[in-house]
Amino acid sequence: MQLVIVESPAKAKTIEKYLGKDFKVLASYGHVRDLPPKDGSVRPDEGFAMDWELYRDKQSRFKDIADNAKKADRLILATDPDREGEAISWHVRELLAKRKALPKEVERVTFNAITKQAVTEAMKAPRELDQPLIDAYLARRALDYLYGFTLSPVLWRRLPGAKSAGRVQSVALRLIVDREREIEAFRAQEYWSVAAQMAHDGTDFTARLVRFDGKKLDKLTLGDEGSAMAAKAAVDGARFTVEEVETKPLKRNPAPPFTTSTLQQEAARKLGFSASHTMRLAQTLYEAGAITYMRTDGVQMDMGAIHAARDAIGDRFSPDYVPEKPRFYSSKAKNAQEAHEAIRPTDFKRDRVGSGDEAKLYDLIFKRAMASQMATALLERTTVTMRDPTGQHELRATGQVVKFSGFLAVYQEGFDDSEEDEDGLLPLMRKGDAPAKKSVDATQHFTQPPPRFSEASLVKRLEELGIGRPSTYAATIQTLRDRAYVRMESKRFFPEESGRLLTAFLERFFERYVAYEFTAGMEDELDTVSDGREDWKKLLESFWRDFKPKTEEVMEKKPSEVTEVLDEFLSDFLFPERADGHEPRWCPQCDAEGRDGGRLALRGGKYGAFVACANYPECKYTRQFAQPGGSGEGAEEDAVLGEDPETGLPVERKTGRFGPYVQLGEGKEAKRASIPKDLDDFDLEWALKLLSLPRIVGTHPETGKEIEAAIGRYGPYLRHDGKYGKLSSTQEVFEVGMNRAVDILAQAANRGGGRAKAEPIKTLGEHPTSGGEMKVMPGRYGPYVTDGTTNATIPKDVKPEDLSEAQAIELIDARAAKGPAKKKRKAPAKKKAPAKKASAKKPAAKKAPAKKEAKA
């Protein structure tokens, strides 16, 4: 028997069909072991020795691999063709050798697509494991471990509230924070433009003023309304005739097929997908044999695919759309290795695959790959220049027309934050023509700050700088969001206060290690390791020699010293200029109570950083910073909003550990209510509304029982007779009427009664045995997969969103085979001993037998 190891069961199932009866294909389900998340897993003093631990939920699966390996004559490691795939194969080989289950013949095969041809050809060309690639993996894993496990304890002790730092993660965060600083420092400039709406031979067009009083106009030349109106009047009062008509041919060439990075960028622009969602879909398409391997920085297709693409173009379009020679591409990205093909369809005859988001992503990949081999698009750009009789004022109109669409017939690349080309059609005009002037407009504009990063533009910037690897960008971005260092609004990244604080700490105390050049340089060195040109342990020694002493140096600093440095570094952000004329660090509470010397500063506490007054303990003023609920506009100062008209008690806005809240009264009798995030203009009226909850909507027409509207831990809701319905906003809590409330409760009941059922994380196909639809669901004790009959827990090392259909079937079948969960039997109630007579003699107490120790 020949044993083949791959990562996923879907891949295993497909490959086994291609190989025949002599082969058995088993899945490792990704990585089988990792460094234990504890101190000492990497030991620099012992030559960077590393301890590995088999995942607990992989033990039974790996036992199956080991049992089959003992019976096999040959082991074929067929994991993915990249650094991670090589690492998984290495781990499998090492574990089998440790268990004395390694067959005599061990070989490595790789294929770029899961098709019969690709797999069978790969089997004919086996090789040894690539040791330099494994060394690069070991170096990267050790670097990330040493960075995180050495720096994180420093954060916990010197920057309370900080969660973690990562080698690439912290630099990506710095990019987002730096962009926010640019935006805050930006000062908008006013400028005006003047344009005439004109017509000629029945066609309307727009002409811009480009010269005024004999001077060429730049973007900011007309800087105020007065100069703009003078220019408008000059255009309004003059007659313009055509002086020049210039027509230029333009050529546009197609973009290369997708790499991992460009696929993530384009899927974000055109489909609105996150990087992680794009990679999950691409993984599914790859395992289904629809596309080539999706983790690549290569932009070239193999010759067979190029010819197939050209044939498909010829079948769909006229011969003009097939260029005379095939197109060849090379990557412009920093650190690109181009070891693998670009991402492309495995079959150019299949223009549709899958459904839903999978189908959308496949369509994008298919069209981009096909367009990359299509003819150049031919365009014509026309520029018409018009002047008044004095020659002092000049108007210009531009237009663009596509003469031959070429690749544009299939695909047009998207761009971030780019101004649209003027591609409107112009009427045919000749020198001496005098187009009719219908109106003249002077329009005010303001210069714009640099845009915040979207997922697409962040991925693009990371790749440009050579930071990290495209295959890790999705995980890096997700970590920043999971740690609440950033948030997404309108598909743009905003740094949270906690993210700004962490970045400030790292910039002040670990500046070298969050420098863009250092991180990019580390990637270059890792590439030299994977090429076999550098020893991986020497790379680690060089890093550790400086990094370890630096962490010890910072650890010796007092928390107050750290806070003092951060207070100065963040002063412009924490204490901006005040519109009321007060000094930025002015303390409102000291001022209100007539106390001198009230000056605010950053302080550190048990739960993180906060702003406090120098007059503490006399002044107990505090302002939350970089803690839950402390970011953004909602992080306002504590204040008295007014008095409750019914009780006369003060209504205060405060900030606690879990965010902002309002309070009525003092002490144990005080009433409190959290302030929801969806309230923009918070005032006394809103505070009194929140404190009045729950609100009685009315009496249910069927049961006669009251319907309540309130806000709970999971947001606004309705409650009636022990059943719940979800409301969409805080506003709706106070506006929902009886008819709407009854309808919401009825809908919730139809979804399963009681509380509204949780939405599935992912929906899969039907289970082959039970016929029930398989769904990945969130559960009280973690995510699980169900077919409606059997619930199976999802292993901790498998992301619920990444669970494939084959994995779901295996988990459900394994759980069903164990039978129903056994309910714990309650111990019978102890019978009371009968009451004894007072004269009865007590028996001697028996010595309790010694308890046996539980076996380990």
Q: 815 CB contacts (<8 Å, ≥6 apart)?
A: 790, 791, 792, 793
Backbone phi, psi, residue 280, to 5° = -65, -45
Instruction: Please enumerate in sequence order all residues whose Cβ is within 8 A of that of 756, keeping only pairs 6 or more positions apart, or say none.
Output: 724, 725, 726, 748
Exposure of 45 in the CB half-sphere (CA atoms within 13 A): 2
Which residues does 32 contact at the CB level (< 8 Å), separation at least 6?
Answer: 54, 55, 58, 61, 62, 88, 91, 92, 95
What span, in angstroms and rounded, lies between the C-alpha atoms of 796 and 802? 12
Q: How far, in Å, CA of 729 to CA of 731, rounded?
A: 5
Q: List active site positions.
A: 293
Strand 23-27, strand 2-6: pairing = parallel
Amino acid, res. 643: E
- CB of 609 closer than 8 Å to CB of 626: yes
Rg (CA), the chain: 34
Alpha helices in 637-729 (DSSP H): 684-691
Q: Give, in degrees to the nearest 5, the angle at Cα 141 between 136 and 144.
A: 125
Q: Which residue has the tokens 């930071």?
A: 467
Q: What is the 3-state secondary structure (H, E, C) of 188-241?
A: CCEEEEEEEEEEECCEEEEEEEEEECCEECCCCCCCCHHHHHHHHHHHHCCCCE
> Is 675 in contact with 653 (CB distance < 8 Å)?
yes
Length of the chain: 856
Q: Enumerate the β-bridge partners of residue 407.
A: none
Q: In 10 A of CB 547, how many CB atoms?
A: 20
Amino acid identity, position 261: S
- For the chain, helix (H) and strand (E) counts, in that order, are 23, 32
Contacts with 626 (C-beta within 8 Å, 6 or more apart), sequence order = 161, 496, 497, 498, 500, 501, 608, 609
- DSSP per-residue codes, 442-511: EEEEE--PPPPP-HHHHHHHHHHHT-S-HHHHHHHHHHHHHTTSEEEETTEEEE-HHHHHHHHHHHHHSG
Taking each helix axis from N to C end, the angle separating 497-509 and 131-158, rounded to the nearest 10 degrees, works out to 100
Q: How many CB atoms lie within 10 A of CB 760?
A: 16
- Which contiguous run of DSSP H or E holds residue 651? strand 650-656
